[in-house]
Amino acid sequence: MTIIDPDIRKAETLPSRFYTETKTFDSVTSSFGQNWHFAAHRSQLSTAQPIDNPLKEPMLLTQSEGELHCISNVCTHRGMLVCTESSEAKRLQCPYHGRVFNLDGQFRSMPEFDTVENFPTDADHLRTFPLAEWKGLLFNTVSADDFDSFIAEVEARVGWLSIEAFTHDLNRHREYTIESNWALYVDNYLEGFHIPFVHGGLHDVLDYDAYSTELFDGGVLQIGIANDGEPCFDLPEEHPDFGQNIAAYYFWLHPGLMLNFYPWGLSVNLVIPESVDKTRIVYHGFVGDSAMLAKGAGGDLDKVEAEDQFIVEGCQKGVSSVAYERGRYSPTKEAGVHHFHRILTQ
Ligand code: FES
Ligand SMILES: [Fe+2]
């Protein structure tokens, strides 16, 4: 049992086996079904689409007659994936032996089953999973509850934005497979400490000393303050941050969801663990104000991403060394990393 001291001044960082041992990786990631995960924004929906997020459970997002559903993507006959790519089909047909389901998951027909007794039953429908919506953003889970408290801190800070009116921009879609444990990627995201060392371009537009980190149940908010003349949010007067030049709100929601709000819109990053030393990073971009694209902290995200990947892949090699077990935290700059490690080990 690993303990991360609640006092950051005394604490040691996560032991290296969290990043290198398959057994530890399996036990940590097996609990992901108990969390909410990002599924899609309404502007990117088809009639039926497989959900790609850190949940290992194959699921589909479907819409029929204006209703959204999150259903199992596993055929109730012999387990084939019912749908392997987005489609505008009016019904779902399993590609293996032709079993057909309605878009809400109800069994409809099956060839060569006329003489099967006691068929179909409820077990032949595709199972339904919980789906929640906040301002056009859709979230799914296997068994999490209390969506309202999951999204509460995001609502409090950026709920004033018209996120439901943002539109999906396929040009901003990215997918990377990196040779690193997923938690190293999250660690790196959770501090601005490395910005002057790793991200020269970003450092020029952000006020490093004013960069702040707030901890909450199940997540971390980092706030980037714009240097003079750089793009920032036009906050409403009643907003808690009114009067500050906010360049970016960076939310991390446990385990692998990053919601990055910039004056141009929202960049969603999904951290999808593939194995102990392999992680897929998926970027979705949703634009609210295209005039603000390519400027400020949310400008050249590809460059920042490449700089971060160089670091986390280097750390993966380093933490696998016999010479490394664990480190210490900067109390002024690494409270977010400490908070994440506390969540992982509780
Ligand atoms: S596995 Fe789907 S019809 Fe057989
Ligand atoms: Fe970074």
pLDDT, residue 320, reads 98
Beta carbon of 94 within 6 Å of any ligand 1 atom: yes
Asked if 261 and 155 touch (Cβ cutoff 8 Å), the reply is: no
Measured in Å, residue 16 CA sits from the centre of ligand 2 at 21
- The confidence score (pLDDT) of residue 153 equals 98
Contact 99 CB / ligand 1 (< 6 Å): yes
Amino acid 300: pLDDT: 86
Segment 48-68, tens digit of pLDDT: 999 999 999 999 999 998 899
Interval 218-236: pLDDT, tens: 999 999 999 999 999 999 9
pLDDT tier, 298 (very low <50, low <70, confident <90, very high otherwise): confident
The Cα 343–Cα 346 span in angstroms is: 5
Residue 1 has pLDDT above 80, yes or no: no
Domain boundaries, the chain: 17-32+159-345, 58-128
Least confident span in 97-106, 136-145, 296-305: 296-305
Which pLDDT band, with edges at 50, 70 and 90, does 278 fall under?
very high
Superfamily grouping for domain 17-32+159-345:
Naphthalene 1,2-dioxygenase Alpha Subunit; Chain A, domain 1 (3.90.380.10)
Question: Mean per-residue pLDDT for 295-302?
Answer: 83
226: left (phi over 0), alpha (psi -120 to 50) or beta: beta
- Does 17-32+159-345 match 58-128 in CATH topology? no
Q: Which ligand is nearest to the CA of 76?
A: 1
Q: Give the span between the Cα atoms of 202 and 195, in whole angstroms.
A: 7
pTM over 0.85: yes
Model confidence pLDDT, tens digit, residues 75-89? 999 999 999 999 999
Cα torsion 166, 297, 154, 69: sign: positive
Asked if pLDDT for residue 201 goes beyond 90, the answer is no
Would you say 220 and 342 are in contact if contact means Cβ atoms under 8 Å apart? no
Ion ligand 2: residues, CB < 5 A: 308
83 lines ligand 1 (CB under 6 A): no
Ligand nearest the Cα of residue 194 is: 2
What is the H or E stretch that residue 108 is in? strand 107-109
- What is 58-128's CATH superfamily? Rieske [2Fe-2S] iron-sulphur domain (2.102.10.10)
C-beta separation of 47 from 104 below 8 A: no
